[in-house]
Structure 1
Amino acid sequence: MLKQAKVSAISAAVSLALGALATPAFAQQASAQQLERVEVTGSRILSVNAASPAPIQVMTSADIAASGATNLQDLLLKSPVFGTPGISRTNSNFSTSAGGVATVDLRNLGADRTLLLVNGRRYVAGISGSATVDLNTIPTDFIERVEVMTGGASAAYGSDAVAGVVNLVLKKGFSGLMLDAQVGQSQKNDDKVKKFSATTGVSSADGRDNIMAHFSISQQGAVYSANRDRSSVDQLSQFALTGEASDIATVNRPAYSSFTPQGRFFYTGADGKPANYTYDPSGKEVPYTGALGFNRNAIRQTAIPTDRLLLAANGEKALNDSHSLFFESTYAATSTKTQIEPFAVDSTGGSNPIYSGGFYVPAEFMVNGKLTRNPLVPDYIYNLATDRDKDGAKDYNFTRRLSEIDNRGARAERDTFRILVGLKGDLSKTWNYEAYAAHGFTKEAQHSTGQVNAANFRNALEAIPDANGKAQCRDPLARAQGCVPINVFGKGSISPEAAKYVRADGSLMTKVEQTFAGATVSGEPFSLPAGQVGVALGAEYRKEKSRDEADALTQAGLNLGNARPITEGEFNVKEVFGEVRAPLLKNLPFVKALDANAAVRFGKYSTVGNVTSWNAGLDWALNSMFRVRGTTAVSTRAPNIGELFQGGNQTFPTGIADPCKGVTATSVGAKDDLCRKDPGVMQNIATNGKFTVVQPDSQSISGYDFGSTSLKAEKGKSNTLGVIFSPKGIEYLKNFSFTADYFDIKIDDAISTPGRQLTLNQCYAGVAAYCKDVTRRPTALGALSAGSIALINQYNINAGSRATSGVDLTVSHAMKLADGQLNSRLAYTYLIKSSLTAKEGEAPDYSQGEVGASRNRWVLNVGYDRGAFAVQASVTYIGHAYLDDQSFSDTTDENDKVIRTARENQKMFGEIKAKVYTDMQMSYKLGKGFQLYGGINNLLDTAPPAIVSGLPGNVTGTETDAGTYDAIGRRYYLGMRYNF
Structure 2
Amino acid sequence: MRKYSNLKASVAPMVLGLAMVSTPAFAQDQEAAETAESVIVVTGSRISNPNLELSSPVGVVTSEELELRQTNTAEQFLRELPSAIPSTGSAVNNGNGGSSFVNLRGIGSQRNLVLLDGRRFVPADTTGRVDLNSIPLAVIERTDVLTGGATTTYGADAISGVVNFITKRDFAGVEINLSEQITEEGDGNVFRADMTIGANFDDGRGNVVLSVGYQDQDAVYQGDRSFGENNISSYTGDAGGSSNAIPAVIVGPIPGGFGQIAPDGQTVLSGVFDRPFNFNPFNIFQTPFERFNIFSSARYEINENVEVYSQAAFSKQTVSTIIAPGGSFFNNYDINLNNPTIPDGIANQFCAGLGLTAAQCTAGRNTQFGPTLADGSANPDFVNINTQVRRRSIEAGTRDSIYTSTLFNMVVGARGAITDNISYDVSGTYGESERIQTQTGFFRRSRLDDALYVLPDGTCISGNDGCAPINLFGLEGDLGSQAAIDYVSGLTQQVITKTSIATVNASVTGDLGFGISETPIQFAVGGEYRSFTASRVSDDASKTPGAVVGAGGAAPDIFGSYDVYDAFGEVSIPVFEGESFAESLTVDLGARYSDYSTAGTEFTWKAGGSWEVIPGLTFRGNYQRSSRAPNIGELFAPVSTGLSNLGSDPCAGPTAPTGNLLAACLLQVPAGSTGAAAIQAGTLLQPAAGQINITTGGNPNLGTETAKTWTVGTAFQPDAIPGFALTVDYFNIKVTGAVSSPTVGDAVDACFLAPSATNPACGPTFISRNPATGGLDGDPSTTRGLILQQSNLGRIATDGIDLSMRYNTDLSDMISLSLSFDGTWTNKNTFQATATGLDRDCVGFYSVNCGSPQSEFAFSQRTSMTFDEDYTLSLRWRYLSALQYEPAVNNAEIAAALADPAGCPDALGADPGGCVVNPEFTTIPAEHYFDLSFQWDVSENVLFTLTAQNLLNNKPKLVGSDIGSTSYNSGNVYPSSYDALGRRYGASVKFTF
**Does TM-score exceed 0.5, indicating one fold?**
yes
CA deviation after TM superposition for structure 1 residue 783, in Å: 7.4
Q: Does 1:107 align with 2:91?
A: no
What is the CA-CA distance between 1:102 and the residue it aligns to? 2.0
Does the 8 Å contact 1:267/1:381 carry over to 2? Answer: no
Note if 1:949 corresponds to 2:965. Answer: no
Q: Which residue of 2 aligns with 1:803?
A: 797
Deviation of residue 131 (structure 1)?
Answer: 2.0
Distance 1:569 1:693 in 2: 47
8 Å contact kept, 2:727–2:804: yes
Aligned to 2:134: 137
- CA deviation digits over 1:782-801, x for unaligned, max 9? 7779xx99776443101131
Instruction: Give the distance between the partners of 2:526 and 2:816, measured in 1 at CA.
Output: 44
1:532 to 508, 512, 520: 520
The alpha-carbon distance between structure 1 residues 413 and 42, as it changes in their structure 2 partners (threshold 3 A), is same
CA deviations 1:177-215 (Å, max 9, x no partner) are: 111101120000011011111111000253221011111
Q: How many angstroms does 1:593 deviate by?
A: 0.6
Aligned-partner SS, 1:115: strand
Query: In structure 2, what residue type is equivalent to 1:220?
Result: Q
Structure 1 residue 484: deviation in Å?
Answer: 1.5
| Letter of the structure 2 residue corresponding to residue 113 of structure 1 | R
Q: 1:619 to 1:343 in 2, by over 3 A?
A: same
In structure 2, give the amino acid aligned to 1:910.
Answer: T
C-alpha distance 305-609 of structure 1, shift in aligned 2 (>3 A): same
Equivalent residue, structure 2, for 1:159: 156
Separation in 1 of the partners of 2:928 and 2:120? 35
| Cα pair distance change 1:234/1:623, threshold 3 Å | same
Structure 1 residues 817-826 or 108-117, which shifts more?
Answer: 817-826
Residue identity in the other structure for 2:209: M
- What is the TM-score normalised by the length of structure 1? 0.83
Deviation (angstroms), 1:268: 6.3
Cα drift, residue 563 of structure 1: 2.6
Aligned to 1:898: none
**3-state SS of 1:105 partner:** strand
Which amino acid is 1:501 matched to? Y
Aligned to 2:843: 848
Three-state SS of the structure 1 residue aligned to 2:80 is coil
Larger CA deviation: 30-39 vs 606-615? 30-39
Indicate the SS of the match to 2:633.
helix
Distance 1:822 1:739, change over 3 A: same
Residue 565 of structure 2 corresponds to 574
Which among 559, 564, 567 is matched to residue 548 of structure 2? 559
1:837 aligns with 2:832: yes
Number of corresponding residues: 884
Q: Is 2:481 the partner of 1:495?
A: yes
The answer as to 2:209 corresponding to 1:212 is yes
Q: Are 2:93 and 1:93 aligned?
A: yes
- In structure 1, runs of 5+ residues without a counterpart are 1-26, 242-250, 365-373, 893-901
Superposition pairs of residues 854-933 of structure 1, within 5 angstroms = 854-866=855-867, 867-889=869-891, 910-933=922-945
Shift of 1:936: 0.7
Do the aligned partners of residues 236 and 849 (structure 1) sit closer, same or farther apart at CA in structure 2, a change above 3 Å counting?
same
5 Å-filtered alignment, 1:423-502, equals 423-465=414-456, 470-475=457-462, 479-488=463-472, 489-493=474-478, 494-502=480-488
Aligned-residue sequence identity (percent) comes to: 24
Please tell me the residue identity of whatever aligns with 1:746.
Answer: K
- The answer to whether the Cα contact below 8 Å between 2:251 and 2:773 also exists between their aligned partners in 1 is no
5+ long unaligned stretches in structure 2:
1-28, 361-382, 776-781, 847-852, 895-906, 910-916
| Residue type at the aligned position of 1:882 | Q
1:567-716 superposed matches below 5 A: 567-651=558-642, 704-716=695-707
Partner AA of 1:55 in structure 2: P
Structure 1 position 521 matched with structure 2 position 505: no
Does residue 186 (structure 1) correspond to residue 175 (structure 2)? The answer is: no
Q: Does the 8 Å CA contact 1:28/1:176 hold for their aligned counterparts? A: no
- Of 193, 197, 221, the residue aligned with 1:196 is 193
State how far apart, in whole Å, the 1-side matches of 2:444 and 2:38 are.
64
Q: How does 1:327-346 map to 2 (within 5 A)?
A: 327-346=310-329
Structure-1 separation of matches of 2:635 and 2:986: 45
Counterpart in the other structure of 1:817 = 811
TM superposition shift of 1:517: 0.9
Distance 1:593 1:451 in 2: 66
Give the residue type in structure 2 aligned to 1:598: L
Question: Which sits farther off after the overlay, 178-187 or 953-962?
Answer: 953-962
2: CA distance, partners of 1:326 / 1:72: 25
Residue by residue, what CA displacement relative to the aligned partner does 1:260-315 show, whole Å, maximum 9, x if unpaired? 3443456767xx556745364x8776859877553211211111011111110111
Aligned to 2:951: 939
Q: Distance in 1 between matches of 2:502 and 2:758?
A: 46
Distance 1:118 1:275 in 2: 57
- Asked if the contact 1:36/1:48 (under 8 Å) is kept, the reply is no
Letter in 2 for 1:937: Q
Partner of 2:728: 740
AA partner of residue 214 (structure 2) = I
Q: Is the 8 A contact 1:267 1:384 kept in 2?
A: no
Q: Is the 8 A contact 1:882 1:907 kept in 2?
A: no
- TM-score, normalised by the number of residues in structure 2: 0.82
**Alignment match, 2:337:** 363
Q: Work out the CA distance in 2 between the residues paired with 1:691 and 1:486.
A: 31
SS at match of 2:296: strand
Counterpart-to-counterpart distance in 1, 2:884 and 2:796:
20
Q: Which residue of 2 aligns with 1:67?
A: 69
User: What CA distance in whole angstroms lies between the structure 2 residues aligned with 1:330 and 1:961?
Assistant: 34
Distance 2:217 2:668 in 1: 56
Which of 489, 494, 499 aligns to 1:512? It is: 499
CA change 1:408–1:908 in 2 (3 A) is closer
In structure 2, C-alpha distance between the alignment counterparts of 1:679 and 1:411, rounded to whole Å: 37
Post-superposition offset of 1:527: 1.3
Distance 1:283 1:616, change over 3 A: same
Q: Deviations over 1:572-621 (max 9, x none)?
A: 11100000010111111120110000100000101110111111111111
C-alpha displacement of 1:828: 1.5
Find the aligned partners of 1:161 and 1:932 in 2 and give their Cα distance.
38
Residue by residue over 1:386-413, the C-alpha shift from the partner in whole angstroms, topping out at 9 and shown as x without a partner, is 1645797374652210122231120111
Which residue number corresponds to residue 79 of structure 1? 81
After superposition, give the CA deviation of every residue in 1:52-92 in whole Å (9 maximum; x if it has no partner). 11111111111111111111222223321111x220111x2
Letter in 2 for 1:148: V
- Kindly provide the amino acid, as one letter, of the partner of residue 363 in structure 1: L
Residue 47 (structure 1) aligns with: 49
| TM-aligned CA deviation for residue 378 of structure 1 | 2.4
In structure 1, give the amino acid aligned to 2:437: Q
Q: Is the 8 A contact 1:176 1:200 kept in 2?
A: yes
Q: Deviations over 1:748-804 (max 9, x none)?
A: 111111354478689999898998945979xx977779xx99776443101131111
> Does structure 2 conserve the Cα–Cα contact (< 8 Å) formed by 1:224 and 1:302?
yes
Mapped partners of 2:870, 2:564: distance in 1 = 53
Aligned to 2:350: 385
Q: For 1:906 and 1:484, how far apart are their aligned partners in 2?
A: 45
For 2:596 and 2:168, locate their aligned partners in 1 and report how far apart those are by CA, in whole Å: 34
CA RMSD in angstroms comes to 3.6
The structural deviation recorded for 1:933 is 1.6
The answer to whether 1:968 aligns with 2:955 is no
